[in-house]
Structure 1
Amino acid sequence: MKSAHLTSKEQWAQLQSLSVSTFTDLVAPIPSEPHKQLMHLFACQLKTTISQSHRADVKSTFKYVSKFIKKKLGDQLIYLPSVLNEFSLDEFHSYLKHCILEDQIHNRYANILQSTYKNVLNKAIDLKTPNFFRFYLPSSFCYYTRVTERYKPYSDKEKKCITIAINHDIKKYSKFTEPYKITGLGRPFFDSENRRLLKNDNSLTLDDARWLFENRMNCKPVRNSTELQNSRINRAFYQIIKNNKIFYKDLFESWGILTRVTMEQLLPFFLKLLQVTGMNVESIYALEIDDLVDRHPATGKPCLRYWKERSDGQKLYHLDIFKADLQWLTTSQGNEVKAIFETVIKLTSYLRERTSTSQKNKLWIFESAGGEIKHLPNRYMLARAIAEFSKRHNIFDKSDGSKLIETTRFRPTFVSDLLVEGVSIREIQLLMGHKNMYTTMRYLDIHDFGQIARGKIKEKLIEIHINAHSAISKEKALSYPLTPSSSQPLSTPLATCRNIFDPPDTVKALPSYIPGKPCSTYNMCLSCPNVIITETDLPKLFAMKRDYLIKIQNSRILDTPFGSVIKSNLALLNTILNPELSNFSEHELDNAEHLSLYVETTEFI
């Protein structure tokens, strides 16, 4: 990296002395200094930095960026247009995360390095670096919590420990949803005219308190200490349990009755929902009691609909299920989520009778110590419940005793499990509730799943190659191959062709066309007179349109020779899929668009 005859200080000074107004003024890398152009870019940033501490930050950031690029690309010459892209800061963020996990740097310093590199990338844009126009901003590193607790998926051992604790408490609190059964225990305390039959002495037992509960209190528990004094019956009940030295809440719980539903009781169900769906915490906060859909009308699959908060605090208008953000669920997920919803709704039923209209449909409502009914999000109450849960089940990081349960770690763990199980990227996209594949791929890269994902993709490609080779071998063995006389309609990747051996003259005129061979010019299918498009083809076409638009959004494909093909196909797709132009009904198009979520395509260009 350094010149043989210059110190680092002299090298920085030399680069700063050069006048730079555009990218072309930057020096080129040389074999002895492969990162010299990158260093010159950082030197340009030094010119605008006055304080010594900031100047030190710029030089230190260069060292980390240089190490990261060398780890990624080796010793090759680094030209900025070939290495800078919209993911440059995201990738550096992931590298810094590894440095933190290995205790090389602190979270706070990682934020300084990331912020400094952001400024340097803005400088590269100002200098009009070719092919570099914008970049994505990753989130900052948490100042007060270790990154291992915020981002890292749980290990198998940690998952097992947390799952056992969650399931234990779910089983414990689910019992409180069962109807109370009359026992008939105890001696009559009052006669029919409410005259006392038993003396108030030490001979009174908890069974006598049970008689009062079943025969005079209508099997309704006392929910706070004030209620213990508001009637003659309740005062008698209180005197019995006081003499027996038991707290009223503990007594009722021993009878299978909860006196108050707090965040403590809801927490295991909340954590279980995070665990089995992989949803964002904010989306789970916003769930309402009718947001679980057993069978989506378009797909027949279970899903959760949730409503993102707008910046002005208003919720998206509840038109119907198609206007909501959807979290698709597998059948097994659907069953677990349904059980969670049913149990939580039963546990909180008495609260819904008392609370305001604005809270009545919230899934996560609970009672504070002062008797006030609240709902999530309430980070203070949630943090307290997690702390109590962790303490009760002894769930702490064994290495340093820090807290282990972080709501932000359940989603990465969910994704990690999917990748390990070989679930396709498209399925992961659907299960994570992402609108498009691009968002999913960004998530995998930012959270360091890229290597796992690429490994899975490589395995699938090998499998496809083997299957394709096997299929070709079988095809050669067929005694009745397809011939030009086979004029029956055949399915293509986009639609159905009336006669794949007799394409129109425009295709026959192409250099790639071989007479007597089936047509394979699929990028011209939509404009071909042989094409037959039915309702069953529509999901594929919607998926094709979706992936074309993603490619346009995230690349400069329209500036390439393929751009005209994409523009032409999008225009044809518009005539087929636009309700105002299409021969298909609006209902057919709407259903097909939702089914397209399950379709993986290859954009034909």
Structure 2
Amino acid sequence: MPRMKSIDYLDKVRRWLDDASQNREMLYSLKLTDKYTDAPIISVEKFLKMLGLPPSGRSILREHCKVELEQMTELMRSEGLIKPNISANNLNLINSLKNLLRRMEADPTLLERVQIYRNSVQASRLIHAFPEHELSLSIAYPRGKEAADYFKNVFAVRVMELLKDSGTYVYTDNKPAAEPEPFDRLETFIAKFMEARDCSNVSSLSGFEGLLKEPFDVIYYLCALGSRTVSGASSIGNFSATYQHLKAFLSSQGFLGTESVHIALDEYVSLKFRAYLEDYVATGELSPSYASTMLSCFQLSLDRLSELDGGRDFSYIKASGFDLRGRTTDTYKPYPKAHRDIVADVLNKEIQRVWDRHSTPYVKTTTGCTFVKQIAGGVRIDGELCTEQNLRWFFDQKLGAERFTFNDLSSVKGVANDALFYKALQKYRQRHSGAHSRLEDLYEAWGVPRDVYREELFPFYMRLLQVTGMNPISALDLDIDAFESEHPATLRPCLRYWKARSTGAKDLHLDIFNSEITWLSKSQAREVSDIVDKVKALTESVRSRLPDDHKFKNLLFIAAGKPPKGYGQVKRLYESGYERIRAHFENRYLDELIDVDTGEVITLVGTRFRSSIVSAMIEAGVSIREIQLMLGHGSITTTLSYLDRMDFNQQARAKIQEKLQSIYDNAWVPKEPENVPREEQYRGEIIFKTPLGGCANIFNPPDFIKNSKSYDGGACSNFNKCLSCENVIITRAHLPDLFALLRDYQTAWQHGTVAATPYGTVIRENIEILESILGDESEFDKTELEEAQRLARYIDSTVKIDGVAV
């Protein structure tokens, strides 16, 4: 793909400058920096990001756009956005407040998002109400003096005036509190934590366990132990805050707080805690920096625990911190459709390359000759014959194409074939300066079979995330039997991964209650099945060498350690060096991971695949409830907050417009009917909505309902017979649910034993009714039926007869 040239950058900058000259409000979005300078200047990095240009263009802008950057700076000075003797950070905050104030004056509806406490604007609530302005708490504290002064004396005063003028808020006699009252409960907690910190000066694991008296004391004294590595009050406070989140995390995992150290703190605890924090980062309740701080505090505490006598055997997998670059939502912002296609193409290309590398049979070469010459005293190596081709011939024909390490060969003496090969290899490296410097490089060039490495599993892992939208940490914990083509309870394909019980044991096969399940559509299932099968095949040689009780034996994503340091080791995909693997992959495909229309470099972020799946579901019209189930949120409030932060406003507006248009299209205005029916004829008729259709008259069902034993003379409640009722009203909106119901009826009929039960006749009748509504003789348009059938893929329909699922 073509790379952007200097003229492209210059053109974009000049067009932006022309627009900003006409619309000065655009200047407020520019960010300043005073890093390595005496006075604030425009931040080139953030300006590139705002224009959607790759960060690699920094040098181009500084070299070719000097005049344009100076013009922007002068425009900002004339607008009062750059002032002397004020830091760039304070100016950025002041300019954001100015921009927000301008918006409020132009659009008074924004004032409804402002929260007032004691006749004053609360800075913390303002930050959460307007995240797009990237404000910080510095506007309320002395460390941001100029910004704090502007917020208190200009911004807050003007906002209160606007609120009063609009009638949104009325002044009271209460006066703003100069300083908040001391919070005794907080002081008491910190004091107790400091006492625990002093008590945790132990040297052994048994001494640590002796401190545990109350529930969750394991993590309480763990954080207290970790806090002994720091001395500042603020740093100690971070450890006490980490304890609060750890307690909530373990409670959410089903722990009671009375578990032992090794059960509560298993080897995956850091990864799981990161996944817990990730949801709060995604919804904006925690910033990435603060979440990284808590994760760091937790891991420091675990490190300190492992240093105690008796704690040497304790180990855990370290989790990486959160990405602090850019806005919080950028890490969770869904990929545009074009970017999703580019990423899929790149991942599939690398998957195919890796698969071909390991699945193609190795063919021994017959081209070449030996470099060993017979002499009177024995044998010698002819240096001129020590070519790469002859080395491979000797390796294949004399050594049986069996891999050796450099250390194995260097320790061999005498005239054995492996010793001769080592000597020839040394001569080859001496004679050819551009030769492969390592034996491993020669093996790769020849295609000698070997175990799979972690970087080769990376594209399979990322493609699995893209297809399923799974939580990245959960995907790393998948077992080799995680994929089921037909779940025994639902007959639908799924991915299943187990929860760890507080007893330390694996849960029984009661997966509906004790496991996390990701349900898959048929198209997802095909791709997931292919990925899982290939990964199992690639890792089979590594897995077969592990004993049955090895902790990695059943994990899906394991690989061999890469020589020379990792030789002989078995590693999980997510260990130290994971970020380096991702960066290496992105650099290899740098020319392809670029949006040719905008020049934007596409980075691979696992959390963005999850939100991309949600974006696709929204585009397909899937309900919020179904999205909640897919995300695994316990509360729909969390899902709504997730959607609100994930930059889905554009899709939401499009869907609202689509529904409004649908209402407009379906509106019916009568034109002076010739014969107006008598009013008495329709008196009492009520249109009642059911999941599968509407009822024209729920209080007047047909005779076959009235004559049934279950009818009590009131409103009809036989909703399982709606489709065969003459009062049913079916519109285009009901079609996806009907297709989903037909699909699950047919599945139950084909795979289950329900046909042999008394309910078999009822299901057969319902299938015939649905086929008459949705089949070739349907009264609906063919395009409407095709669209409804597509949407039905995202709908779960439980087949029930007399209230019993079949």
TM-score range, shorter chain: 0.5 to 0.7
Identity across aligned pairs (percent)?
26
Indicate whether 1:391 and 2:621 are aligned. Answer: no
CA contact (8 A) 2:347 2:463 kept: yes
Distance 2:500 2:162 in 1: 41
Change (3 A) 1:169 1:39: same
Cα deviation, 1:470-504, whole Å, max 9, x if unaligned, reads 9x99xxxxxxxxx99xxxxxx993799xx998x8x
SS at match of 1:306: strand
- 2:116 alignment partner AA: L
- 2:581 alignment partner AA: A
Correspondence for 1:364? 557
**CA shift at 1:190, angstroms?**
12
CA contact (8 A) 1:249 1:258 kept: no
Distance 1:208 1:493 in 2: 79
Correspondence for 1:445? 644
Change (3 A) 1:179 1:529: same
Correspondence for 1:177? 358
**TM-score calculated relative to the size of structure 2:** 0.42
Distance 1:268 1:327 in 2: 20
Change (3 A) 1:516 1:393: closer
The equivalent position to 2:403 in structure 1, one of 213, 216, 221, is 221
Correspondence for 1:507? none
Change (3 A) 1:315 1:401: farther
Where does the alignment leave 5 or more consecutive residues of structure 1 unmatched? 1-29, 81-114, 116-135, 474-482, 485-490, 504-512, 538-582, 585-594
**CA shift at 1:215, angstroms?**
4.7
CA contact (8 A) 1:177 1:343 kept: no
Distance 2:158 2:626 in 1: 35
CA contact (8 A) 2:479 2:555 kept: yes
**CA shift at 1:173, angstroms?**
0.9
Indicate whether 1:146 and 2:337 are aligned. Answer: no
Cα deviation, 1:441-496, whole Å, max 9, x if unaligned, reads 332123232452353255246547756969x99xxxxxxxxx99xxxxxx993799
Alignment of 1:54-65 (within 5 A): 60=151
CA contact (8 A) 1:329 1:431 kept: no
- 2:385 alignment partner AA: S
Correspondence for 2:458? 267
CA contact (8 A) 1:170 1:268 kept: yes
Distance 2:460 2:162 in 1: 43
Distance 1:444 1:422 in 2: 14
**CA shift at 1:359, angstroms?**
0.5
CA contact (8 A) 1:190 1:197 kept: no
Change (3 A) 1:453 1:60: same
The equivalent position to 1:317 in structure 2, one of 507, 515, 521, is 507
- 2:491 alignment partner AA: G
Indicate whether 1:40 and 2:233 are aligned. Answer: no
Correspondence for 2:749? none
**CA shift at 1:138, angstroms?**
3.8
The equivalent position to 1:234 in structure 2, one of 406, 418, 421, is 418
CA contact (8 A) 1:266 1:364 kept: yes
**TM-score calculated relative to the size of structure 1:** 0.54
Correspondence for 1:413? 612
Indicate whether 1:598 and 2:796 are aligned. Answer: yes
Cα deviation, 1:362-412, whole Å, max 9, x if unaligned, reads 11213254323221432x321010111122222788999998333322222
Cα deviation, 1:104-140, whole Å, max 9, x if unaligned, reads xxxxxxxxxxx9xxxxxxxxxxxxxxxxxxxx98432
Indicate whether 1:165 and 2:346 are aligned. Answer: yes
CA contact (8 A) 1:307 1:315 kept: no
CA contact (8 A) 1:293 1:303 kept: yes
Where does the alignment leave 5 or more consecutive residues of structure 2 unmatched? 1-107, 125-138, 172-240, 242-279, 290-323, 373-377, 429-434, 672-680, 683-687, 724-757, 760-792, 800-806
Change (3 A) 1:45 1:457: closer
Change (3 A) 1:265 1:596: closer
Change (3 A) 1:598 1:404: same
Change (3 A) 1:462 1:381: same
**CA shift at 1:324, angstroms?**
1.8
**CA shift at 1:421, angstroms?**
4.7
CA contact (8 A) 2:493 2:521 kept: yes
Change (3 A) 1:457 1:138: same
Change (3 A) 1:142 1:255: same
**CA shift at 1:304, angstroms?**
1.0
Distance 1:296 1:67 in 2: 61
Indicate whether 1:342 and 2:533 are aligned. Answer: yes
Correspondence for 1:509? none
Mean Cα deviation higher: 287-296 or 345-354: 345-354
Change (3 A) 1:220 1:415: farther
**CA shift at 1:598, angstroms?**
1.0
CA contact (8 A) 2:141 2:148 kept: no
Indicate whether 1:377 and 2:574 are aligned. Answer: yes
Correspondence for 1:508? none
- 2:459 alignment partner AA: P
Change (3 A) 1:54 1:535: farther
Alignment of 1:516-535 (within 5 A): none
Distance 2:399 2:458 in 1: 30
Distance 2:509 2:639 in 1: 27
Alignment of 1:470-489 (within 5 A): none
**CA shift at 1:281, angstroms?**
1.0
Distance 1:218 1:69 in 2: 85
Correspondence for 1:276? 467
**CA shift at 1:429, angstroms?**
4.3
Mean Cα deviation higher: 145-154 or 527-536: 527-536
Cα deviation, 1:498-532, whole Å, max 9, x if unaligned, reads x998x8xxxxxxxxx57999999xxx999989756
Distance 2:364 2:347 in 1: 31
Distance 1:285 1:182 in 2: 35
- 1:449 alignment partner AA: F
- 2:489 alignment partner AA: A
CA contact (8 A) 1:285 1:376 kept: yes
Correspondence for 1:20? none
